[in-house]
Amino acid sequence: MTENISVLGLGLMGSALADALLSAGHHVTVWNRTPAKADPLIAKGAVRAATPAEAVEASPLVIACLLDYPSVHEVLQDTPLAGKTVANLTTGRPGEAREAASWAAERGADYVDGGIMAVPHMIAKPGALILYSGSSAAFERHEQAFAVMAEARYVGEDAGMAPLLDLAMLTGMYGQMAGFLEAAAMVTSAKYPLKEFTTDLLIPWLNAMAALQPDWAEKIETGDHSTEVSNLEINRAGMENLVRAFREQGVKPDLLLPMKTVIDQRTARGLAHEGLSGLVEELYN
Ligand code: FVH
C-alpha cells in the first residue's frame, strides 16, 4: 500500500531511508536544514518542503532522522503534530525517547522510537534491522512502510526499549572490538600475519564462544551462576597471566583491565566458584 511519508533530516542515514521509501513507490516529502541535500531525492520524485511544518502537514507519518534528540525538538517544537505519527529514528538514550513520547502525546501525536542497526548502505538490503518501540497501534499502521527500509522489529510499548536494546547491541559490539584490538596488538607485536590470525584462528574461536552466551543469558535470568565450563578462579588466574604476558610483550592491556578489575572484585567476595556470568551482579548499581 502506498503511503504519504515525510522525512525530516537528510544526512547520510535520512537520505538512505527516504531513498528506500521512494524506490518502494511511496509519496515522500522531504525537509533538511541544508536544503541542497534534498536535491538527489527531488530528482528521484520526492517533494521538497520549505519548512518542517510544511513537511509534517504533508503526511500522516513523519520520520525524523537527525543528529540527536535536541535537534528533533528544535525542528518540531513549533509544528502542529495532532493526528500524526512521529517515528523518531534518531539515536538517543532511553530516557530521551520516553520524554519525546510524552512530548508527542501532549501534542496529540502517536510516537514510535527506532534504533537503526545498520549503516546507510545497508538500508533496504538483507541484514538491516530497525528496532521500534512505543505505540503498537502506530507501529502496526505503518509496519509495511517501515519494512521497506529494513527488517522492522517491534520490541514493546515502552518508547525507551528500542534505544535501550540498540545501546545494548552496540555495547556487545564495542566489547568484541576491544578484544579484537588487544589481540591485534599482541599478534602484530610478534610479527604474526594479522589477517591470517583473524580469519583462521580468531573468528572461529569467537563464534564458538558466542555459542555459550544463550546459556549465560539463562544463568543471568535465573541468578544461578554455577558452572561446568570454567570458574572465576580459573578466569582470575587466566586474566593475571594475560595481563602479564601483554606487558612482557610490550603491549598495554588497557582494554582488558576493566574486566580484570571486575573479576578480582567478584573473587574477593568469595565467589571464585561461580562462572563468569556472575560478573553481571557486580554491574548493577
Ligand atoms: N550513519 C550511520 O551509520 C548511523 C547508523 C545508526 C544510526 N545513526 C543515527 O542516525 C542519525 C542521523 O545520522 P546520519 O548518519 O544521517 O548523520 P549526518 O549525516 O551527520 O546527518 C545529520 C542530520 O541532522 C541534521 N541536523 C543536525 N543538527 C540539526 C539541527 N540543530 N537542526 C536541524 N537539523 C539538524 C543535519 O542537517 P544538515 O547539517 O544537513 O543541515 C543532517 O540532516 C543520528 O542520530 C545517528 O546516530 C546513523
The answer to whether 274 and 225 have CB atoms below 8 angstroms apart is yes
pLDDT at 76: 97
The atom number, within ligand 1, closest to the CA of 9 reads 43
Q: Which residues pair with 8 in a beta bridge?
A: 31, 64
Instruction: Report the CATH number of the 4-157 domain.
Output: 3.40.50.720
For ligand 1, atom 42, name the residue with the nearest CA: 11
11 Cα to the center of ligand 1, angstroms: 5
From the CA of 8, how far away is ligand 1's center (Å)?
10
Query: 165-282 belongs to which homologous superfamily?
Result: N-(1-d-carboxylethyl)-l-norvaline Dehydrogenase; domain 2 (1.10.1040.10)
* pLDDT confidence of residue 91: 97
State what percent of residues in the chain have pLDDT above 70: 100
Structure confidence by residue, pLDDT tens digits, 124-179: 999 999 999 999 999 999 999 999 999 999 999 999 999 999 999 999 999 999 99
- Reduced to 3 states (helix: H, G, I; strand: E, B; else coil), residue 8 is strand
Contacts of 18 (CB under 8 A, 6+ apart): 7, 10, 28, 30, 41, 46
pLDDT digits (tens, 9 = 90+) for 203-240: 999 999 999 999 999 999 999 999 998 999 999 999 99
Domain limits, CATH 3.40.50.720, in the chain: 4-157
ipTM score of complex: 0.99
What residues flank ligand 1, with Cβ below 6 Å?
9-14, 32-34, 37, 65-68, 71, 74-75, 90-91, 116, 119-120
* Distance from Cα 154 to the centre of ligand 1, integer Å: 23
pLDDT at 279: 97
pTM, two decimal places: 0.94
191-200: burial string, b at 16+ Cβ within 10 Å, e else: eeeeeebeee
Q: What are the start and end residues of each CATH 1.10.1040.10 domain in the chain?
A: 165-282
Phi, psi for residue 7 in degrees, rounded to 5: -120, 125
- Cell numbers 508527542 correspond to what residue? 104
